[in-house]
Amino acid sequence: MARVGVVVHPTRPLEGPLNALREWTAGHAIELVQVPAPFQQPTVGDPGEAGDCELIVSIGGDGTMLAALRTAAPAGRPVLGIACGSLGVLTATPAREIAGALDRFQAGEWMAQRVPALDIAREDGEDLFALNDLAIVRAGQGQIGITVMVDGALFVEFVGDGCIVSTPLGSSAYAFGAGGPLLTADTDAFLVTPLTAHGGSCPALVVASGEEVRVIAAVQYGGARLEVDGQPADTRVAPLTITSRPAAATIVGFGDQEPLLTRLRQRRVIIDSPRILAGLTRRGQAAESD
């Protein structure tokens, strides 16, 4: 490698992992630059472009990782996520292991985890893409009327707080909090989740990756906004046509990393029922008393 790019969390103290990254790149005669992100980063290095780097390193949580992936995806560069966040499940490498992870990447001892994106064609505004999710949400008082069509067939019309369209990666984020199902990382599909529908029957819908989703929003006086990967994108929510694009971005993975479902359990995003937990507690107490 000749050059490594870095994206950092905007507010958290990151001196430890940053120093480890600087020491590793300096020790291997590799230039370290800071690449752009959709948010304001503290300056930690000379500016650079993702396309000029062999690797992008994300230091922070899932939001930082998504920002790094959005920067790296158009350039076709892989992203190594270093966990310095409060809950992140995408950043699977602990900060203390940054040097070893970089050694393994340089030696070619890594796996490319390809993740899809949502391509979002807009009738009013430039096209967008999302690696996690796209959300149409109300911006004030009054509900939003939502029409969802799949390959030209009407799925549902409802009024409520909005609608989320998620990749498998994003199914564990906003959509999960709204009651949608989880999709495993290699599911060849994406997800439509209504937000707090006012009556009717509006279940979350798993859509095959080859199908096209059209979302039409009827906005009332309170307004609405479009969010992409958790960031506000626009207040114009004209009709959207959404398709899935496979292998849009690349996450650096290693064979001994725990799977995503295990990370969700470790971070207590998924929690067993109280009876199961009570039984585990009783068995643990019994074992201690033996």
Instruction: Identify the structural domains of the chain with CATH numbers, from first to last.
Output: 3-110+254-280 (3.40.50.10330), 117-246 (2.60.200.30)
pLDDT tens digits, 228-272: 999 899 988 989 999 999 999 999 999 998 888 888 898 888 899
Q: Identify each DSSP E strand in 152-277 by its residue range.
A: 153-160, 162-166, 189-195, 205-208, 213-219, 224-228, 231-234, 240-253
* Contact present, 127 and 121 (Cβ < 8 Å): yes
Which DSSP state fits 235? Answer: S
CB-CB contact of 78 with 55 (8 Å): yes
Helices (H), ranges, the chain = 15-27, 62-72, 98-106, 174-177, 260-266, 274-289
Spacing of C-alpha 220 from chain mean position: 29
Tens-place pLDDT, residues 155-195: 999 999 999 999 999 999 999 989 889 999 889 999 999 99
Given pLDDT bands bounded at 50, 70 and 90, which one contains residue 282?
Answer: confident
87 pLDDT exceeds 70? no
Q: How many CB atoms lie within 10 A of CB 109?
A: 11
pTM of the model: 0.90
**Percent of the residues in the chain that have a pLDDT greater than 70, as a whole number:** 98
Catalytic residues: 62
Confidence band of 35 (pLDDT split at 50, 70, 90): very high
